[in-house]
Amino acid sequence: MGACGLAYEYTLSKIASDLLGNSIRQWALIIGFMMFFMGIGADVQKYIKNQNLFEKFLIAEAILGIIGSFSPLLLIYSFGLWNSHYILIQYIIISAIGLLIGFEIPLLIRVNEIYTKELKLNIGNILKMDYIGSLIGAILWVFYLPQWFHFSRISFIVGLLNIVSALGAFYFLKHIVVNKKTLLSILSIFLLFILSGLIYSEKWMIHGEQYLYRDKVIYSETTPYQHIILTSNNHSISCYINGCLQFNSLDEHIYHELLVHPVMSLAECKENILVLGGGDGLAVRELLKYPSIKQIDLCDIDPNMTSIALNNPHINELNQKSLNSAKLKIINNNSLIPTNKEEIFLPNEYSPSGKEYSSVAEINLIHMDASIFIEQIRNQYDVIIIDFPDPNTPELSKLYSKKFYTHLRYRLKPKGLFCQQSSSPFDSKEAFLCIGRTIQETGYAVVPIHDNIPSFGEWGFWIAGKQESYSNISLKEKLKNISLLSVETKYLTPELIKSSTVFGKSWLITKNTDINTIFNHKVFHYYIEGWKKIYE
């Protein structure tokens, strides 16, 4: 019971975070709201008569299993079909689950009075087991359930545990049950409902998610780190992470060419490259056009994302099998020490021109948090490409913090450069400028660039190098003086790079002077404020 209650809290908090964003707020509100109604439930149970008390307890447990199992599906469908009423529906479900969890402990204590007359032993034993169960539930939910089951099935696994517990209690204590056939029938019917949900949940989840997207959902997966959706129409493929568009196949080349080629054109040396984020392999596709590159280290926290990049045919067509290099090493441990078992070799059979890439770089895929990665490694790089999601959560904002850029300095060679995707300088202007201030405060010379990407609108990047080697003016002049791109591009030209350094009259002007740290999350707050104005 304790394990199931905690798992329901975590599951509903995760769903709300994926749908509404701002995970810290959602987790705090939902768990706090649920605990409030647990208190209400604990108080309301005093009105339940002692007659057939054990049967009432088992029915409450079964109802909790049904509501808890189907609640993620209900939330997905309500968000897509009745968006304006979603919050109301969400908190009705949370209230119901909280009430039922609140019933459990007091009812069980009352039932247990038959066996343990002394109150201190009765309460102590039951609460002890409930708290132990909560720890077990937390460990299972965090470390194991997401590894074994699709997220849509986790709630049904937990609900099944509720029903099995009720059936087990019925079996061992059936001698105190009055209406045995009726109770067994109710529990069996609920069990069939949950088993049906367990079987069909993934199909139902995809059907429910379809209401959230204009195009057909062709792939849906919730990983321990994020929720990944691929959609398709007759013309394009789109990728969404936690409901936010990551790229559209019609114009992703504009974004990735801006992310890679201006900074690569400035770099004096292009042998060792680090890509942070970018698990889709699209930035690596652009990098592999440079014959001088010897090694690319790609660090993405989610192995499921790089697996899609390696194996999904739709993404393979886009990234041109850029990760299927002749030398590919996948490192899935935090010690950063690969073993022979982690090395796989694949033929380099695809390239933008239909021929092999001009050179075959060694590609290392590292699956870990980028902020931890740059603290642990001792490598230095000529160019670093930073392709993180927008700072739309406090967790992501740490990747745009002064601490992060400080550690990044040690990973850059003296004349090394990096490019940071930085959201929209128009729609989230203050977040964009805060990123630039934070980078510059950490000892870098910086220059902003931007262009219009149809799927996103106006989009911006910061290019930076150490102040010991560059100045803001020298970086900008170098960009403006690029007269030739050494690689083939679909969109970018030297003229477009030059124009990307020119901003609207007030776009780079602000009264704010603060920077982003791991404690103040300024970038996150600016980002939310900026996009909130757009939607309002």
Burial class (CB within 10 angstroms; exposed 0-12, middle 13-18, buried 19+) of 206? middle
Q: What is the pLDDT of residue 50?
A: 85
In angstroms, what is the C-alpha Rg of the chain? Answer: 27
Which pLDDT score, from 0 to 100, does residue 188 have? 94
* Residues annotated as catalytic (active site), given as ranges: 387
Using DSSP's 3-state secondary structure scheme, residue 77 falls into helix
Give the torsion sign (CA, 455, 456, 458, 462): negative
CA pair distance 295, 487, nearest whole angstrom:
18
Q: Residues 384, 416: contact at Cβ < 8 Å? A: yes
Q: Distance of alpha carbon 532 from its chain centroid, rounded? A: 21
- pLDDT at residue 212 in the model: 87
List, in sequence order, every beta strand (DSSP E) within 163-277: 216-222, 227-232, 237-241, 244-248, 272-277
Domains in the chain, start-ordered, CATH in brackets? Answer: 2-210 (no CATH), 247-502+510-535 (3.40.50.150)
pLDDT given at position 334:
52
Alpha helices, H only, 221-274: 252-266
pTM for the full predicted model: 0.83
Report helix, strand and coil shares of the chain as percent, to nearest 5. 55, 15, 30
Dihedral Cα 189, 194, 195, 197, nearest 10 deg: 130
| pLDDT, mean of each 10-residue run, the chain (536 residues) | 87 84 82 92 90 90 94 92 91 94 88 82 87 90 80 88 92 89 93 94 88 91 86 94 92 98 97 96 96 94 93 94 73 51 37 48 90 91 97 91 97 97 96 98 98 96 97 96 95 97 95 95 93 71
Q: What is the CB neighbour count within 10 angstroms for residue 446?
A: 23
Q: Note the pLDDT of residue 360.
A: 66
